[in-house]
Structures are given as structure tokens and as C-alpha cells.
Amino acid sequence: MDTTKYLTPAVLALFDELWGDAPNWSGSPMFGGNVASTPASKGHLTNLKKAGLVTTEVDSDDPSLSWVYFTAAGKALAAERGCNESEFLA
């Protein structure tokens, strides 16, 4: 499956925003927290999941929030974009 079709500029912007917020959450940002959950961003998050870049888990205390976990492919994409996992795992 060609996952690149899901990587529009808006989807990549959400990826970058999530990656940038990851240091605030020990590497797993909260979607709906610092990264706003809007109808458009929900769709972009779905595209990131379809592309295999992230997985999510609904927060047990607040189902309107989701924890975002970067997959190996997501970490590789971040590295390609000049980011490093050690930025938020140090």
C-alpha cells in the first residue's frame, strides 16, 4: 500500500506539531491537549494512522483526548525531516 498519498502538507504539519509537542509528554503527545483537536486535524490524524506513522490510545480519564505514539516509520520520517527522538527522550 502506498502511504505517501496520505502525506499532504496539512497532514505533515500536524505530524510536525505532534512531534514538537512530544517533549512535553515524555515522547507521546496528547491530541486534544496542546495540539488542538478540530474536525480537520482529526482527519489529518486519521491519515497519519493510515500511513502507519502513529498509533493512538484514548485517554482513560477524558475520552476527548488521545495519546499519540510514534511508530518506527514515524520516527524514521521525523529523522528524514531533521528531527531526532533524543530531543524528547533525554
User: Mind listing the domains of the chain with CATH numbers?
Assistant: 3-82 (1.10.10.10)
Output the tens digit of pLDDT for each of the chain's 90 residues. 566 677 999 999 999 999 999 999 989 999 999 999 999 999 999 999 999 999 999 999 999 999 999 999 999 999 888 887 766 554
d(CA 83, CA 75): 8
Rounded to 5 degrees, what are φ and ψ at 53? -90, -25
The reported pLDDT for the residue numbered 34 is: 94
69 three-state secondary structure: strand
Q: Are the C-beta atoms of 45 and 56 separated by less than 8 Å? A: yes
How distant, in Å, are the alpha carbons of 1, 2, 4, 76, 88 from that of 35?
A: 28, 27, 23, 21, 16
- Asked whether the whole model's pTM tops 0.85, one would answer yes
- Mark out the alpha helices in the chain (DSSP H runs): 9-21, 39-50, 72-80, 86-89
